[in-house]
Amino acid sequence: MALPIIERPVRRPALSPSRAGDFKQCPLLYRFRAVDRLPEKPTRAQVRGTVVHAVLEDLFALPKDERVPETARALVKPAWDRVRVERPEFAGLFVDAEDGEEGAWLASAEGLLDGYFGLEDPRRFDPDARELLVEWEMPSGVLLRGYVDRVDVAPTGEIRVVDYKTGAAPREVNEAKALFQMKFYALVLWRLRGVVPRQLRLMYLADRQDLVYAPDEGELARFERTLEAIWDAILRAAKTGDFRPNPGRLCGYCDHKALCPAFDGTPPPYPGWPEPDDAESVLDRTD
């Protein structure tokens, strides 16, 4: 999922799919992001994803017959102008750019939207929800929280969870990560609405491909236990600050390599970890 553009009020500690995924990939990366909150420079691809998500959200606010490719393309520039204001950290994205780079980038966002229309016709349905904040507290007290791109509900009551991907189509690791995220949303929606989502649909706009997956109750129940185990491991590491690096091929994409002991770096002193409670804490920032 792209960078959300929704402002977040102060909330109680929670586990999000991205941060759970970070911890699974590399506990130290989790610490840098969720505990130290070290800044990361957004890439043009990430910001383009945010813009495309914003356009798709805007598109479904229009009457059905206006949801056509030309309208979507026309929404790109206003969405970028809005996102740029809402997220000042995006403002420097084209500071040193050559002439025409921003235009080409906007055109590539339009291309992704064309890819979307190659996968479905948004004039044929109204979503039940877009950019939906979902939260559910597990019996153990762990709060799960995330943003679902779109939820569709059929007249028969069957739920479909949809996520737009603006990167390339998945292979092995990426697919596993994407399914982890979708199972997370499916679990929360099941618990909130009492119905196991019938379908999880990942829409890869660049490649005009989708990945469709049907979860079952037993699988989601097992997934719930997996999330409990991840949270337990996070809290164990939190007590001592022992978040270990787990180097792998994704280190090439890590903004914090210079601080990582696996690459001869030194992390900043561990800032400490408050006990989870309803007060504001560093854990509020884990999504």
Give the binding site for ligand SF4 (CB under 6 A).
Answer: 26, 28-29, 245-247, 250-251, 254, 256-257, 260, 262-263
> Would you call 17 helix, strand, or coil by DSSP?
helix
CB-nearer residue toward ligand SF4: 221 or 263: 263
Give 26 or 186: the residue with its C-beta nearer to ligand SF4: 26
Q: Which tokens is 210 given?
A: 């989708």
CB of 241 to ligand SF4, least distance (A): 14
- Minimum Å gap between C-beta 261 and ligand SF4 is 8
d(CA 157, CA 193): 10
Q: How far is the CB of 245 from ligand SF4 (least distance, A)?
A: 4
| Nearer residue to ligand SF4 within complex by CB, 130 or 256 | 256
Query: What span, in angstroms and rounded, lies between the C-alpha atoms of 20 and 142?
Result: 12
Cβ distance to ligand SF4 smaller for residue 26 or 148: 26
Integer Cα distance of 159 and 189 in angstroms: 9
Count CB atoms within 10 A of the CB of residue 111.
Answer: 14
Q: Which of helix, strand or coil describes residue 210?
A: strand
CB of 98 to ligand SF4, least distance (A): 30
On the 0-12 / 13-18 / 19+ scale of CB atoms within 10 A, 98 is exposed
